[in-house]
Structure 1
Amino acid sequence: MITIRRTYMPLSTYPQAVPDEAIRSAAGFAAALGGTVDVTTFSVDIPRVQSPLASLVIDIPALVQAAEDKSKAECVRLETLVRGVAAAAAMNCASRKVLLSGVFEAAAAEARYYDLAVLPWSKEEATARDVIEAVVFGSGRPTILVPQSGHTTSKLEHIAVAWDASRVAARALGDALPLLVPGGRVTVLTVRDEKPLAGASIASLLASSLGKRGITAHPIEIDLRDRTIAQALQETTLAEGAQLLAMGGFGHSRIRDFVLGGATTGVFDDLRLPVLLSH
């Protein structure tokens, strides 16, 4: 039995970190979940490439050293930033220096030692998405993405679950329920016109099953209309007042083979609230 929840938050610093407000939001959300939050900031070790001809034009070793020094200094700054988040008394910080090509795998590998990962999301920073994809698809742990303005300072009393009766949806449900406070409620969301479903009224079936377990649950069936599935799920979650959307993460990281499911791609491209992804 888990008595202390351990949450992990990796932060890359190269070529630059995600915006400070996104990090504050993620740290605040992670702290609100309770337990401890372990933050690892990654500085980079950039391999030196010997090129006498290039050195005649520009001092490449000096540029590489400057980039490494900037990355290291950013680690220190980010540690100060997350420690300043309200209610973050259980926030632990550490820094690791890894090869430039190894940041993403290092983050995924570390995440395996925790109950879940919480990551800041940024539409502008490609590195943020690379870290997210590496952890979602490579860690085997549930991962919560938090937008810049999407943190909560309260416990999770209401969550929404995207339900299509698939294995990954069931896993997302199982990963999200332990985060719900006693007496909390669940909204079950099923999109009717996106793909063939496993049967009729599957949202009601899950809501009934949750009710038999003592969890208040309400089913909602959604029509896409002119929206993407990610838009429909997020808009309905927000309209219902849920604090978190849990869904299965379909596909594989673009680091490996560039294949992602439509809902996952939509969330990565336009995150509107905290979303838990399980793969």
Structure 2
Amino acid sequence: MKLKALLPLVTHPDPNSDAVAAHAVAVARQFGADLHVLVVNVDIPPVSNALSDLLLDLPNKIRQAEEQSRARGAHLLDRVEHQASAAGVPLSTEEVSAGPAFLYEKAATSARYFDLDLVGWEKGNPTSRTLAEAVIFGAGRPTILLPEHCDIGTLDRIAIAWDGSRVAARAVADAKPLLARCETVSVVTVVDEKPLAELDAGERLADGLRKRGLQAEATRIEAGDAPVGAILQEQAIQLGAGLLVMGGYGHSRVRDFILGGATEAVLDDLRLPILLSH
């Protein structure tokens, strides 16, 4: 069955840079996925207040914000179409509008209808972070974060962050279609970050993957005093992995996301594409 991937683009207030177009197309091409682009532009309700109209010129500011949102969405869509055409990736597109409070919810809801979500990640861009959190914890689908300043290399080697937990198991299950397309799988277990139910958890998973026809190996590492998210990424890069698979720890209280330590460390310092599943 062919994969269907979604690239959601929220264009207000701080849209993604052009890098997201090339990154999303590169991932879709390597996994043989059809790519659907959802552009979510802002639709700001009118403010009917004579004083604000007179002193702040709010109607004009609202119009400018909406025009900028649509223009940026059209620009990003053009970039994705150009990249997809050059790479031979099947592409479909959609543009919608939503109020400022519902931009991310619209993206997360739409993401539930796809096999895989691709989200551009830019450090210092609050829109990209909020979108990533909304999709990871609200879509119920695996999400690959695409760091802005990172070339998408070959994805024939995938690393799995494994601690034997439920969310880690969910991430592996969600990543099965991608694992089936790679050449080598590296199972990475951090042994000193928290108590593990089974000391041989990583080897058990690797053995199970080998029995399913995958080329898999297990690696045990120690984090020491370093953030576990950073150590996992460093190890994945050293192993030559182009993608790291891990469970996303966290939940949302309305719009305030409470993240687990490893997830927080990854989002604070993303170094390679990461599939997060929740």
Regarding TM over 0.5, the answer is yes
Task: Flag the 1:116–1:182 CA change in 2: closer, same or farther, 3 A.
Answer: closer
1:201 aligns with 2:200: yes
Give the residue type in structure 1 aligned to 2:147: P
Residue aligned with 1:258, SS: strand
Structure 1 regions of 5+ residues with no counterpart? none
Q: In 1, distance between residues paired with 2:182 and 2:118?
A: 24
One-letter amino acid of the counterpart of residue 214, structure 1: G
Equivalent position SS for 1:193: coil
Classify the secondary structure of the residue corresponding to 1:259: strand
- TM normalised by structure 1 equals 0.94
The one-character-per-residue Cα deviations of 1:207-254 (angstroms, maximum 9, x if unpaired) are: 112122221111111111231000100000000001110000001147
Structure 2 residue matching 1:200: 3-state secondary structure: coil
Q: Taking structure 1 as reference, are residues 137 and 243 closer, same or farther at Cα in structure 2, changes over 3 Å only?
A: same
Matched residues in 2 for 1:255 and 1:236: separation? 35
Structure 2: stretches of 5+ with no match in the other structure: none
Provide TM-score, normalisation by structure 2: 0.94
Deviation at 1:95, TM superposition (A): 0.8
1:266-277 aligned at under 5 Å gives the runs 266-277=265-276
Q: Given the superposition, is the C-alpha separation of residues 23 and 265 from structure 1 closer, same or farther in structure 2, using an over 3 Å criterion?
A: farther
Which among 36, 49, 52 is matched to residue 51 of structure 1? 49
Alpha-carbon distance between aligned partners in 1 of 2:13 and 2:3, rounded to the nearest angstrom: 31
Aligned to 2:222: 223
Equivalent-residue separation in structure 2 for 1:81 and 1:6 (angstroms): 20
CA contact (8 A) 2:136 2:143 kept: yes
> Residue 259 of structure 1 corresponds to which residue in structure 2?
258
Residues 45-54 or 139-148, more deviating: 45-54
Aligned equivalents of 1:31, 1:13: Cα separation in 2: 24
- Give the distance between the partners of 1:216 and 1:239, measured in 2 at CA: 18
Letter in 2 for 1:15: P
The CA RMSD over aligned residues, in Å, is 1.6
Query: Which residue is 1:248 aligned to?
Result: 247
Once the 2 structures are TM-superposed, how far is the Cα of residue 153 of structure 1 from its aligned partner?
5.8
Name whichever of 159-168 and 142-151 sits farther off.
142-151
- In structure 2, the CA distance between the partners of 1:255 and 1:94, relative to structure 1 (3 Å rule), is same
Match of 1:108 in 2: 108
Aligned to 1:40: 38
The one-letter code sitting in structure 2 at the alignment partner of 1:25 is H
Letter in 1 for 2:101: S
The residue that corresponds to 1:152 in the other structure is: 152
Counterpart in 2 of 1:98?
98
Query: Match of 1:111, as an amino acid?
Result: A
The Cα shift of 1:93 comes to: 1.7
Could you tell me which of 27, 30, 55 is aligned with 1:29?
27
Alpha-carbon contact 1:6-1:114 (below 8 Å) kept: yes
Q: 1:22 touches 1:122 (CA, 8 Å); kept in 2?
A: no
Q: 1:45 to 1:241 in 2, by over 3 A?
A: same
Number of the residue aligned with 2:142: 142
* Cα distance in 2 between the residues matched to 1:16 and 1:60: 20
Task: Indicate conservation of the 8 Å contact 1:136/1:249, yes or no.
Answer: yes
Query: SS state of the match for residue 250, structure 2?
Result: coil
- Alignment partner of 2:226: what SS? coil
Match of 1:63 among 61, 64, 67: 61
Deviation at 1:162?
0.5
> Which residue pairs with 1:177 in the alignment?
176
| Partner secondary structure for residue 213 of structure 2 | coil
Tell me what 2:130 maps to. Answer: 130
Aligned partner of 1:117 in structure 2 is 117
Residue identity in the other structure for 1:32? Q
- Following the alignment from structure 1 to structure 2, what is the Cα–Cα distance between the partners of residues 273 and 114? 22
Which one is further off, 64-73 or 53-62?
A: 53-62
Note closer, same or farther for the CA distance 1:247–1:176 as it changes in structure 2 (3 Å cut): same
Quote the offset at 1:48 in angstroms: 1.7
| Counterpart AA for 2:56 | I
